[in-house]
Amino acid sequence: MAYFSPKKPIVRDPNKLGVVDGSQVYDMIQEATDHYREFHSTEPAIVNRVYMKSTDLPKKKLLNYEIPDWKVYGTIDATFIYSSEPLPNYIKPLTHNIITYPLKGEVVNITKYGGEYYYTVPLNLNQKVNMNRPPSERGDGTVVPQHTKFNRRVWSWHGDTVVQGRFGNSVKLGSDSLYQTPTIKIVNGQNQKTETLQYKNVESDYPHIEDINSDGSSIYMTAGIDEVKLIPAAVSNNLPTSLYGNQIILNSDRLIFNAKGKVNKEGVSLTGTIHMLAADDFILSAGDQFVLEAEKIYLGSDADPARCADIVRNPLVKYDELKSVLGDMVSVLEGLAAIVDSATQNEDGESTANLSPINSAISSIKEDLPTIASGVVFTNYK
């Protein structure tokens, strides 16, 4: 991979003739050879130090203060493995947008361009994603093998593109089993199932097989015929029997959707909206509680006053208050029935009004009042 920079053009004046001395001959030979061309080389080197802490960075002046020189953040000190050429401090990453910061003791390639040195990603010496130090090298105690040894390369197939971190996180751009339709799997945290750890403990190079039900957090974007074997977190009678085709599945211990919005100087939120739209059904299932908190809740497309100001909205009733009002009405009806019963009594003290059906209906209403309360849907006191 080594190369020389392009030769510099040599321009001579043909009118200058005469005898030349030895020094002039030597200069002309150097010009005609590669003496004045820069040699660009790539050579492996051991990482001695990685500058990631503010206390490790050199200082620079800003106004009247000394601050860390953040320009050298992420640079390294290193030593060539084969040549004895000294390397400068603060060797920069080769790329600025995709960087794998090495660990002390890992091997990187060093290349020189424009008089500056750059380092590449750590060399894949051991076919491991957590670290690739040679056996003779030791780290600085930040990332240690015993804490990361179960983080493995993700099981992949022909044509897949995989981006992996050291700590069990990965993005895999793959395909279905027919190598036709695309899939994207984003995983944060390889699962710690006993069976998985046993395999990895016995075989130090055993890869990680993704499991949407057991990995830490997963986002699957799939297409094609392959079915995702998702275990529902709650009982649902409306979950599709087969999860395949174009779909996005999120699975984690907790999902939080937070639209923080922007607030103007009057304290009014200008955005902060979550839209969830479905062409057909919108289904929510919960294993325990379904809690909806808001200043106002509008049910129905014509209930929002901001969109339908000319429509008289129909507010919901509250059971406790409704029960109290209906109870008072029943008491009034009982009182009226008693008055009628008293006013229609004959000389023998018997009522001539047939109030038995009315009294029976009133008793039935009193018994049925508690049954109108929902056992699963509740609202607040307002």
pLDDT single digits (tens) 162-176: 999 999 999 999 999
Residue 36 lies in a domain: yes
Same domain flag for 100 and 155: no
Same domain flag for 105 and 45: yes
Q: Contact 8/36 with Cβ under 8 angstroms?
A: yes
Same domain flag for 22 and 116: yes
Same domain flag for 16 and 107: yes
CB contact set of 238 (below 8 Å; sequence gap of 6+):
281, 283, 285
Residue 99 lies in a domain: yes
13 or 204: which carries more pLDDT confidence? 204
pLDDT digits (tens, 9 = 90+) for 66-85: 999 999 999 999 999 998 88
Mean pLDDT for 286-313 is 78
284 or 302: which carries more pLDDT confidence? 284
State yes or no: pLDDT of 320 exceeds 70.
Answer: yes
192, 221, 251: which is the final residue of a domain?
A: 251
Mean pLDDT for 12-23 is 73
Q: DSSP 3-state assignment of 249? A: strand
The count of structural domains within the chain is 3
How far apart CA 233 and CA 189 sit, in angstroms, is 19
Same domain flag for 161 and 112: no
Same domain flag for 117 and 155: no
Same domain flag for 230 and 165: yes
122, 139, 169: which is the final residue of a domain?
A: 122
Same domain flag for 356 and 317: yes
Q: Parallel, antiparallel, or unpaired: how do β-strands 107-113 and 59-62 relate?
A: unpaired
Same domain flag for 177 and 247: yes
Q: Comparing 39-43, 92-96, 107-111, which segment has the lowest mean pLDDT?
A: 39-43
Residue 277 lies in a domain: no
Residue 176 lies in a domain: yes
Q: Which of the four pLDDT bands, split at 50, 70 and 90, describes residue 2?
A: low
pTM (2 decimals)? 0.78
Residue 56 lies in a domain: yes
State yes or no: pLDDT of 1 exceeds 50.
Answer: no
**HSE of 126, CA atoms in CB hemisphere, 13 A:** 16
Q: Which of the four pLDDT bands, split at 50, 70 and 90, describes residue 337?
A: confident
Q: Parallel, antiparallel, or unpaired: how do β-strands 92-93 and 116-122 relate?
A: parallel
Same domain flag for 11 and 105: yes
330 conformational bin, left if phi > 0, alpha if psi -120 to 50, beta if neither:
alpha
Residue 47 lies in a domain: yes
What was the pLDDT predicted at 297?
Answer: 84
| Domain span holding position 221 | 150-251
Residue 127 lies in a domain: no
pLDDT digits (tens, 9 = 90+) for 108-137: 999 998 889 999 999 999 999 999 999 999
What was the pLDDT predicted at 182?
Answer: 97
Same domain flag for 164 and 118: no
Residue 337 lies in a domain: yes
How far apart CA 170 and CA 200 sit, in angstroms, is 18
Q: DSSP 3-state assignment of 331? A: helix
pLDDT digits (tens, 9 = 90+) for 228-281: 999 999 999 999 989 999 999 999 999 999 998 887 777 777 788 899 999 999
CB contact set of 104 (below 8 Å; sequence gap of 6+):
47, 48, 49, 50, 137, 138, 139, 140, 142
Same domain flag for 156 and 243: yes
